[in-house]
Structure 1
Amino acid sequence: MNIDLTGKTAVVTGSTEGIGFACAVGLAEAGASVVLNGRKADTLKKALAALQDRAPAATLTSVVADLATADGCAALVEAVPATDILVNNVGIYGPKPFFEIPDAEWERFFQTNVMSGVRLSRAYMKRMMEHGWGRVIFLSSESGINIPDDMLHYGFTKTAVLGLSRGLAKLARGTGVTVNAVLPGPTMSEGVEAMLADTAKAEGKSIEDVGTAFVKAKRPTSIIQRMATVDEVANMVVYACSTQASATTGAALRVDGGVVESII
């Protein structure tokens, strides 16, 4: 299968590292003009240079904006008024006991993980529908189905994203615009590597071995019995953005390694 996105513009939010950066690489290698996004100019500059190295022929731009705020979303839309592909990847996570999560933390997770996608979809989807082609992807999580009791606020937002993506797919019915959610399972991103680093050092093990032990202990239903790579998740995103995926919409596309105990 040859995925060719030449002539398409793709906005990937929260794309300086991890799954977002991997998605940006995959889309750029498929020929799309890619817009990177991050909150910090220096980090974004490094990511842009790294992406140019990976895809030297690609047309690349970047926008510094904190998408956890309405002003940040507006700044991105002002810099990039239209796009063919929107990957709503930006998100935050982290374990915390339910009784210790204050209202402000619930609000911060909701604004970042949910409202960023609401605002950007509202800004970009109407034009996609008018032009008869578009792709909107939300990065959800298996935690949106298997709500983790050690980070309820995170799981809640990822469930909300599933509802949002399904509803927007229905809104775009018959227009040539597809909207899907991608559900990663445990994934070895830079953030997860940092989270596991102390354990790896203390136990004298590699990050990969500690990651595998985490999956077996915390996600025992995993079928692959390891963490996914960011590229494995990005592969699903790039496919969902392709012309070949035109009959896939309103779907929850799992890249969870079989963690979710369901055959559908």
Structure 2
Amino acid sequence: MNIDLTGKTAIVTGSTDGIGLAIATGLAQAGASVIITGRTQSRLDDALEKIHAAAANAPEVLGVLANIGTAEGCQTLIAAQPQADILINALGIYGGKEFFDITDADWEEIYQVNVLSGIRLSRHYAQGMKEKGWGRIQFISSESALNIPAEMVHYGVSKAALQGVSRGLAKVLAGTGVTVNTVLPGPTRTTGAINMMKKMADERGVSALEMESIFLKENRPSTLLNRFANPEEVANMSVYIASEQASATTGAALRVEGGIVESIA
């Protein structure tokens, strides 16, 4: 299968590192013009350099400095790039916290960043896609949407909300040529996850790699992959769903979580 996104413009939020950066790189390698976002110029520049190095033949790779977790940041992006063919809502935050310690401010922040950012951007860009009769919208969710983790309930709830938004928007755009899907990664070796594993490893006196195995056994015992995924493995699904070849896939929750979710559906 040859995925060719030549002539398409893609926006990827949360794309200076991790899964978002891997998706942006994959889209650029497939020939799309790519716009990434970041909150600091240094991280944005570093990510742009990495994408250019991995996708030297990409037609255009640009960065927009904006905090997409706010309404103002979303408007900054929209002003800089009013139209897009592909929108990947990859922005997200997470962190372990006891349920009884999760404050109203914590709930508000995670909802603003993980949910409302994607809603705001999809509300805008979907209209242009609908007019053109072609578009791809994705929300990067998590297996935690189906398997709410006790150690970060607010995160799981925010990702479950994305499932509802995605399915509902797919219905709104039914028959328009615009598809809407969620991608559900499992534990993935991003910078944030690596740092979290290192902190836990230091507390237990084991290596970070050993800690990954311990974490999976204690917190995701149903895993069939038995390891953390790499960001590129998740990005492969996202790039495919953004392609013409995935034109009949919409309203779906596509799992790249290594079999953690105990369901065959």
Specify the TM-score bucket, using the shorter chain as the normaliser: over 0.9
Structure 1 residue 56: deviation in Å?
A: 1.0
Q: Which stretches in structure 2 are left out of the alignment for 5+ residues?
A: none
Percent identity over paired residues: 56
Match of 1:183, SS state, is strand
What corresponds to 1:60 in structure 2? 61
TM-score normalised by the chain length of structure 2: 0.97
Partner of 2:166: 165
Paired position in structure 1 for 2:19: 19
Aligned length: 264
Per the alignment, residue 119 of structure 1 pairs with 120
> 1 CA distance for matches of 2:219 and 2:156?
15
Q: In structure 2, what residue type is equivalent to 1:220? A: P
* CA drift at 1:156: 0.6
The letter for the 2-side match of 1:114 is V
> Residue 92 of structure 1: SS of its match in structure 2?
coil
| Counterpart amino acid of residue 112 in structure 2 | Q
Distance in 1 (CA, whole Å) between partners of 2:166 and 2:103 is 27
Partner of 1:144: 145
Q: Aligned pair 1:241/2:252, yes or no?
A: no
C-alpha displacement of 1:50: 1.1
CA apart distance, 1:171? 0.7
- Could you tell me how far 1:207 is from its partner in structure 2? 3.0
Shift of the 98–198 alpha-carbon distance from structure 1 to 2, 3 Å rule, reads closer
* Closer/same/farther in 2, CA of residues 202 and 153 from structure 1, 3 Å limit: closer
CA contact (8 A) 1:216 1:226 kept: no
Q: Distance in 2 between matches of 1:40 and 1:97?
A: 30
Runs of 4+ in 1 over 6 A off after TM superposition: none
Q: Counterparts in 2 of 1:111-260, with a 5 A limit?
A: 111-201=112-202, 205-260=206-261
What amino acid is the match of 1:143?
S
C-alpha displacement of 1:257: 0.3
Deviation at 1:210, TM superposition (A): 2.0
Q: Counterparts of 1:79-118 in structure 2 under 5 Å?
A: 79-118=80-119
Counterpart CA distance in 2 for 1:102 and 1:203 is 28
Q: 1:173-212: per-residue Cα shift (whole Å, max 9, x none)?
A: 1111000000011111111001111344566654333212
SS in 2 for 1:150: helix
